[in-house]
Amino acid sequence: MAGLFESAGGGSAAIALDELEVSILRSLEVGMVQMIGPGPGGDGGDPLAALFAEGPTEAPANPMLARLFPDAYGDPAKPEDPESRAASGEFRRYTEVDLRARKREDALHVVRMLDRLGGEGGVLKLDPADCLHWLGALNDLRLTLGVQLEVSEDDEELYELPDEDDRKPLVMAYVWLGALQETLLEAIAD
């Protein structure tokens, strides 16, 4: 399996990860959970607080979080207009709390599954529900790494960096996560 997903039939998938791959993936997902932060009611996850919580009305200042929680209205290529900004704020107010909770749960789900390997390599088998969590978590990691690397459509030189470049490990992780996403999609489609 060489660190990529294979079909396990019926919308399920399996992946063999070595110790280094487990460590990298777990570290990235833990960082994602920390960046997203606790839900309403703090780490205790007070269900009543979550039920009545309203989200923020402004986009996050952190560019990686802004990529995970983009404005719903307006064209990013055009100057911001007050009407779109107000509509985006209202939309964000009612949706961001749930979206953050889903992204946090996706990342935690991956961490918990990796923890089953006890910090060592091994084979993970994902049922169809697991696959959905993994797809969401992998996508979120790629989005945030893309922001860090300032990836654009015509960034071919980014993939040809010399080994001495500090961005090289992030580019390698970005490419690997893309391969994981692609092979997981192929595996669940079989």
pLDDT tens digits for 23-39? 999 999 999 999 999 87
52 belongs to a structural domain: no
Number of structural domains the chain divides into? 1
Q: What are phi and psi of 65, to 5 degrees?
A: -70, -35
- pLDDT recorded at residue 156: 78
81 belongs to a structural domain: no
134 belongs to a structural domain: yes
124 belongs to a structural domain: yes
Q: Say if CB 116 and CB 51 are below 8 A apart.
A: no
Handedness of CA 96, 98, 99, 104 (dihedral sign): positive
- pLDDT recorded at residue 1: 43
115 belongs to a structural domain: yes
Positions of the chain with pLDDT lower than 50, given as ranges? 1
Rounded to two decimals, the pTM is: 0.88
54 belongs to a structural domain: no
Neighbours of 70 (CB within 10 A): 14
Q: By residue range, what is the domain housing residue 116? A: 5-43+99-189
Cα separation, 118 vs 186, in Å, equals: 27
Q: What are phi and psi of 164, to 5 degrees?
A: -75, -15
92 belongs to a structural domain: no
Cα separation, 100 vs 15, in Å, equals: 27
pLDDT, tens digit, for every residue of 151-163? Answer: 887 777 888 889 9
79 belongs to a structural domain: no
